[in-house]
Amino acid sequence: MATSTSKGQTKSTSTTEKPTAAKPPAKSGVESARERALQTAETAVDVPVGAALTVYERATEAVEPLVTQEKRDAEMKRVRAQIRREINKIERRGGTARRRALQNAKRTRNRVEREFKQQRQSLESTVRENRERAETELKRVERELSKTRSETEQRVRKLVNRGQDSSETKIAA
């Protein structure tokens, strides 16, 4: 015997007797084969009948809310409320996804700006250090050049003076 549940599923109930303490006598091979054949035949009939009853019950449950105007209105109200809930749920999910995407975009933008600023500062620092090194080296080379120029001028003067002294001595002699 099958009964219908509120969700349209069938639940089988059986009224089998509890086994007694005494065991039935052993059956012959022919009787066992006959019982198996009988059980198979019953199953072959019970399955389509049970399926037909299930289809009937589900169809009845599907049509029942639409039988009277009040039931149709109530069903429409229930469906509209369910659709409204689903739409609100989808809207919330969309809003959450949008806010999350915005947060990720802002986070990425801030990270990129921070990295750019750090790289720019590092580059500016390197350029400043290189410029200072170059200026220091230039000043050192200018000092050495000035010193070398002064020394060279002094040597040239000495040589010129020596040359003039020796030509004066040769002229005087």
**Could you read off the pLDDT tens digit of each residue along the chain, which spans 173 residues?**
455 555 555 555 555 555 555 666 667 888 889 899 989 988 988 898 889 889 988 888 877 777 788 888 888 999 999 999 999 999 999 999 999 999 999 999 999 999 999 999 999 999 999 999 999 999 999 999 999 999 999 999 888 888 777 766 666 65
Q: Residue 69 and residue 58: Cα distance in Å, rounded?
A: 21
Does residue 31 lie within any of the structural domains?
A: no
Does residue 80 lie within any of the structural domains?
A: yes
Contact by Cβ (8 Å): 1, 13? yes
Contact by Cβ (8 Å): 72, 65? yes
- In degrees, rounded to 5, the angle at the alpha carbon of residue 27 between the alpha carbons of residues 21 and 30 is 155
Does residue 20 lie within any of the structural domains?
A: no
* Contacts with 4 (C-beta within 8 Å, 6 or more apart), sequence order: 10, 11, 57, 61
Does residue 114 lie within any of the structural domains?
A: yes
Domain range holding 117? Answer: 40-166
The residues that bridge with 10 in the sheet, in sequence order, are 4
Q: What are the pLDDT digits (tens) for 22-63?
A: 666 667 888 889 899 989 988 988 898 889 889 988 888 877
Does residue 18 lie within any of the structural domains?
A: no
Q: Residue 68 and residue 141: Cα distance in Å, rounded?
A: 108
Question: Does the predicted model carry a pTM greater than 0.75?
Answer: no
- Give the pLDDT of residue 60: 83
The residues that bridge with 3 in the sheet, in sequence order, are 11
How many Cα atoms within 13 Å fall on the side-chain side of residue 90? 6
Number of domains in the chain: 1
